[in-house]
Amino acid sequence: MTMKKLMILAFIFLMGVAAQAQQNLSWGQGPQVASPDVHADNSVTFNLIAPEANHVQITGDFLPPKTVEFNGSTYDTPGVVDLVKDDKGVWSFTTEPLKPELYTYNLIVDGVKIIDPLNVYNIRDINNLFSVLLIGGDSRIDLYKVNKVPHGTVAKVWYESPTAGITRRLTVYTPAGYETSGKDYPVFYLLHGIGGDENAWSELGRAAQIMDNLIAQGKAEPMILVMTNGNISQEACPGETSEGYKVPTMMLPKTMEGTFETAFPDVVKFIEKTYRVKKDKAHRAIAGLSMGGFHSLFISINNPDMFGYVGLFSAAVDQQQADPNGFPNIYADRDAKIDVLFSKKPKLFWIGIGKTDFLINNNNALRAYLNAKKHKYTYLETDGGHIWRNWRIYLTEFTPLLFK
């Protein structure tokens, strides 16, 4: 009896989200639908129970992209299509058969974008909460899944940054067995893009799953992965800071003005004091996506003895104007600093970018410089633009090259 009452109570909560709030509470009544409903041919039906809605749409990166124009430039955004309502008030849309990939999507109910209430699997990126759809069956995409392999630990850890004068949070992945092996491990510092935070790589980036699977397959060395928060004015991601409800904006102070890069050695010191790690250049890697690639470039060239491996994923690579109130020297003399970095023979300098990425011209210019100077680097060009699909690919390509 007790168990039944507990289940009823839980069910009342469930019904609240699975169907409309006003519905009579009764087991098994009303439409019984799943969403997403993945069929044998990998076509997918999305369902929403919404008898009172006028108009329901879906937007997701499995749909043909929609091009939007802004300030004279064009940007691809996920396409939008209508769902169709049946006589029970269930709105549906079925895709073409989809290729294996981790897709994200939202439903739009009378103009309000929501996550799929029948899909418990959702991920935040910037302010946006997406529903997630993972279609497996491909050797790369299966790396993004939780598989039956030994799992590392993912920890939210706070560190002091004396340089920046702030206590901050980061995400640390330690490989399976770390706690009891007694061994020292190499460290890979992995940085997010603008608007992201210390959760970005472990959520949309699937970094822990990728590491677990690559290590289990013998393709990557067991290593510690450190995922920082590149917004140096933030203690941590929204909801996890002493700042309470402040909504994050793109206009965060001190982003790409030098403080994060200048304070980065505080992170390395903290990790090397706190974890069992190998403390030399041959056992430190750094990489980042977009703004994080920019950070990785300027951190590595300003500390040319720190990292043996550098990865630029769809990176902003142009020299920026330093904030006159910030740390003025960090962006100065980019090319001369690159020359110094290469004079010290990094084990790997890796560049990956999408063919339609709006940063490809900047990356081509950087590559032209590296070519002219005969600096050796590895280059991967993929389809598509400035998107997580590419950043997950780059992580799966870059990581197996580390610490060998």
Q: Pick from 29, 82, 96, 146: which binds a second copy (CB under 8 A)?
A: 146
Binding-site string for a second copy from residue 207 to residue 246, where x marks contact by CB under 8 A and - marks none = ----------------------------xx-xxxxx-xx-
Binding mask 38-67 for a second copy (x = CB under 8 A): x---------x-xxxxxx-x-x--------
Between residues 269 and 281, which has the closer beta carbon with respect to a second copy? 269
112, 162, 345, 374: residue in contact with a second copy (rule CB under 8 A)? 112
CB of 204 to a second copy, least distance (A): 11
Among 82, 86, 96, 110, binds a second copy (CB under 8 A): 110
- The distance of closest approach from Cβ of residue 197 to a second copy in the complex, given in angstroms and rounded to an integer, is 10
Q: Using the rule CB under 8 A, is 251 a contact of a second copy?
A: yes
199 - beta bridge partners? none
- HEC per residue, 391-403: HHHHHHHHHHHCC
User: Is residue 290 part of the contact set for a second copy (CB under 8 A)?
Assistant: yes
Q: How far is the CB of 40 from a second copy (least distance, A)?
A: 15
Q: What are the respective helix, strand and coil percentages of the chain, to the nearest 5?
A: 25, 25, 45
Extract the tokens encoding 135: 């279609």
Binding test (CB under 8 A) with a second copy, winner from 34, 282, 365, 368: 34
How is residue 103 annotated by DSSP? E
Stretch that binds a second copy, among 109-117, 184-192, 214-222, 395-403 (CB under 8 A): 109-117
**CB neighbour list of residue 87: distance below 8 Å, 6 or more residues apart:** none
Mark residues 66-105: x for contact with a second copy by CB under 8 A, - for none.
--x-xx-x-x-x--x-------------------------
Q: Are 152 and 175 in contact (CB under 8 A)?
A: yes
Strands (DSSP E) found in 176-316: 187-191, 224-227, 284-289, 309-313
- The footprint of a second copy on residues 306-335 (CB under 8 A) is 316, 318, 320
The answer to whether 319 and 326 are in contact (CB under 8 A) is no
| DSSP classification of residue 6 | H
Residues in contact with a second copy, total (CB under 8 A)?
A: 112
CA 210 to chain CA centroid, Å, is 12
Structure tokens at 353: 């970018």
For 147-174, b/e burial (b = at least 16 CB within 10 A) is: eeeebbebeeeebebebbebebbbbbbb
Which of 218, 247, 324, 372 touches a second copy by CB under 8 A? 247
**Between 146 and 336, CB nearer to a second copy:** 146
Spatial contact of 213 and 149, defined as CB atoms under 8 Å apart: yes
Stretch that binds a second copy, among 213-221, 305-313, 322-330, 354-362 (CB under 8 A): 354-362
Query: 208 or 393, CB closer to a second copy?
Result: 208
Sign of CA dihedral 375, 285, 388, 297: negative
d(CA 334, CA 336): 6
State which residue, 242 or 345, has the beta carbon closest to a second copy: 242
Q: Are 195 and 250 in contact (CB under 8 A)?
A: yes
Interactions with a second copy, residue window 255-284 (CB under 8 A): 256, 273-275
Q: Please identify, among the stretches 140-148, 260-268, 348-356, 371-379, the one whose residues bind a second copy according to the rule CB under 8 A.
A: 140-148
Under rule CB under 8 A, residue 206 binds a second copy: no
